[in-house]
Chain A
């Protein structure tokens, strides 16, 4: 029977290449006209352990994964052990018939398809690694997906390894399809390709953000490798020569942000991507950017802390940290995109905001958003909307006509001083981490200190005009309103759909601009929102606390997940019980 929504999961040991081959299969599905949401789950190790990769496939656009699985592709018995309970009734497990499966792993309502995976890979591909291609050939065969799309991906992905590798993998695809044939009758779910669909993109949050940043004029990126932020540095490095971006891997995150600040002071649009641990090292430099009114962007892809925490997993635990990090007070802007589209927009908006308000902008992502793949139409990356607005940056002509010296921190009505970049004879540039006067010279004068504190703080008020209000999904009259931010957009949206389909009216308010918050406007939205339930991927409900601080609104309940795994629609619904909504876990 054709199904409009099914999930395939492949599992095995780290080092088996699941993620790259899974991403290849997801791309084949998208080229075949289907919609996907794909999610890697891996350990912080290069070999061994248990990794899996889930691909939800549908005929309509997807925003989230689901926990249920229809087809489990098991490269080892451990995969069956861990995931057999996730299968729907009628689902199936493909496993290697040469590795006996213990009876206690079997379920009567699930089919088990023994296929000699390693032997077929060796026979047709000549190498065990081609098992990854084989198993997706099997998957294509079982769901009735035209393997031509998979063959096209094989040609694209293996072309640089030479025609022999391409041919071996093509033979393996065919072998996989053939091996699936005897079992097809016992697998009830079909997801045939939808040929003729317009081309769609498949990408994750890191890639979308990096592309947005590049489009927005980011020309300097300095970083130090740390999961899950460093793929942004890698993406920029891969595009550096072609697009004129300076990228530098430096000795630590302290140097990373300091270098970005130096580049920004010199006039480049500069960014330092990292994760929470790296951001911890950047904190002193964050204050330097605030004090010197330097426009700089920090991309912080969160993972569970404290300390090393769960290196390859997800959490939204750094919100209040990045909001308050540094001694003293200064304005900072925080964006938290929730989707591919918003990640792209955050990429270019961050640089405009940084230069308009001459202060650091932090883009908060997390491992879930950074790594989950979703297909979008090309127009979803709205390049046409991209602007490069450098704020009060003095033009060459304005600099030429400057008289009487340049004051980097001159007092203005909105707190923002016209910015020169070093190199013009009429605008010698001086900044210091010390408190300073308008010229950028060190001062300890009490009156000047007070005025400079107020000048900097004023910028945050000015910036309110640029902050997007939360987006709403669902019926504005619905009596139940989920409140989310950042990566929870997809699971929340799916939960709203599921609830509405079941007759429970729900909506969501999703915040992608987190600081500053237009308090009056948001308070009014919350006022009419009925029963509000904050849904966050952290143990305390940090955003709910922040909302209460800013607007006075107390959410009626909190659904919190902090096991290092992303929120799922099922988790949200399972925890939407009266006793949870009224909340005992923590102050409500």
Chain B
């Protein structure tokens, strides 16, 4: 059995005291332990931002990439070795600004990876600019007159793009988030978990006190049917005094992308032998050009 401590890294986080990333980090490690995964069986892929440093603080395979490019790198990792559990952790700027296009394509491909978005609705590492999920009117260093844009709705976008697992949690409820991560890792295909998270330094408006009374759990409603995409879209549009968390939508009726790749029928690509072409193969290739 693996333990949370198996994932302990010698590197200490540089996050602010009270940062929501601690909760997300703990939930990731708890989920990996519950799944009985060892550090070498997982690949954490992140971009750039406060939350994207999570792999550096975690003892597991990790690749910190470029801002916004978490998902395409993870796509390549997954296709090269679908024996690895690929888990992405990146912020709302990474996922929904520079990387938004990649998310829609990852969703419609249904590539088998977990996409955890640390959504604090602000840019933290660059010190306080508004983000794609900031409220319209958000006053920040780059929107002193108030943000003119309406926020993106990542869950609705993911649903529209054909995502097969669409969920939300928040960093103040680690057991709930850990449970969602476990389910996402077990999911067949692309799994988005948007994690609402306070930024105690640059976004005091979205605080623990803001979220705690507002969030409610979809899975505590006996009538909620997470296989109903239309119902999921309705809940995805709900925001304000009540904020739903949990699994909005899930279907495993669709194959993951990697299941359809002909070359992967023989197993993970990197485990397939890499040898020079046989004489018969060479002759066949040459014959194509005669």
Residues of A within 8 A of B (CB): 31, 199-203, 207, 211, 214-215, 217, 219-220, 222, 240-241, 243-246, 248, 250-252, 254-256, 258-270, 284-285, 288, 292, 378, 381, 383, 386-388, 390, 421-434, 440-442
| Chain B neighbourhood of A256, CB < 8 A | 72
Closest to A259 in B: B76
B235 at the interface (CB under 8 A from A): no
B263 at the interface (CB under 8 A from A): yes
Closest to B61 in A: A422
Closest CB of chain B to A458's CB: distance in Å? 23
A-B contact count (CB 8 A): 196
**B63's contact among A246, A265, A390, by CB below 8 Å, is which?**
A265
| Chain B neighbourhood of A387, CB < 8 A | 276
B200 at the interface (CB under 8 A from A): no
Closest to A439 in B: B10
Q: Which residues in chain B, 107-130, are within 8 Å of chain A measured between CB atoms?
A: none
B286 at the interface (CB under 8 A from A): yes
**B261's contact among A246, A426, A429, by CB below 8 Å, is which?**
A246
Return 18 A-B CB contacts under 8 Å, by A number: A31-B290, A202-B289, A215-B276, A240-B262, A243-B281, A261-B73, A263-B269, A265-B63, A265-B76, A266-B84, A284-B69, A288-B65, A378-B286, A388-B275, A422-B84, A423-B40, A434-B64, A442-B53
B178 at the interface (CB under 8 A from A): no
| Chain B neighbourhood of A260, CB < 8 A | 76
Q: Is the CB of A220 within 8 A of B83?
A: no
For the complex, give the distance between the alpha carbons of A108 and B282 in Å: 52
> In the complex where A266-B81, A423-B81 touch, is A255 in contact with B270 (Cβ < 8 A)?
no
B34 at the interface (CB under 8 A from A): no
Closest to A284 in B: B66
B156 at the interface (CB under 8 A from A): no
Q: Which residues in chain B, 8-54, are within 8 Å of chain A measured between CB atoms?
A: 9-11, 38-41, 43, 45, 48, 53
Q: Is the CB of A433 within 8 A of B43?
A: no
Q: Is the CB of A428 within 8 A of B59?
A: yes
**B263's contact among A215, A244, A284, by CB below 8 Å, is which?**
A244
| Chain A neighbourhood of B165, CB < 8 A | none
Q: Which residues in chain B, 265-287, are within 8 Å of chain A measured between CB atoms?
A: 266, 269-270, 272, 274-277, 281-282, 285-286
Q: Is the CB of B270 within 8 A of A262?
A: no
B62 at the interface (CB under 8 A from A): yes
For the complex, give the distance between the alpha carbons of A250 and B105 in Å: 8
> In the complex where A201-B286, A251-B105, A425-B40 touch, is A266 in contact with B77 (Cβ < 8 A)?
yes
For the complex, give the distance between the alpha carbons of A91 and B272 in Å: 57
Q: Is the CB of B63 within 8 A of A262?
A: yes
Q: Is the CB of B286 within 8 A of A255?
A: no
Interface residues on B, range: 35 or more
Q: Which residues in chain B, 133-186, are within 8 Å of chain A measured between CB atoms?
A: none
Extra inter-chain contacts (12) besides given A262-B74, A425-B40, A432-B56, CB under 8 Å: A219-B269, A240-B262, A243-B281, A262-B79, A262-B80, A285-B66, A285-B69, A423-B61, A430-B61, A430-B62, A431-B62, A431-B64
For the complex, give the distance between the alpha carbons of A214 and B53 in Å: 36
| Chain A neighbourhood of B290, CB < 8 A | 31, 199-202, 378
Closest to A426 in B: B40
Closest to B38 in A: A425
B193 at the interface (CB under 8 A from A): no
Greatest chain A CB density within 10 A among B78, B84, B285, B286 is at: B285
Closest CB of chain A to B47's CB: distance in Å? 9
Q: Is the CB of A386 within 8 A of B276?
A: yes
| Chain B neighbourhood of A425, CB < 8 A | 38-40
| Chain A neighbourhood of B262, CB < 8 A | 240-241
For the complex, give the distance between the alpha carbons of A428 and B272 in Å: 21
Closest CB of chain B to A289's CB: distance in Å? 10
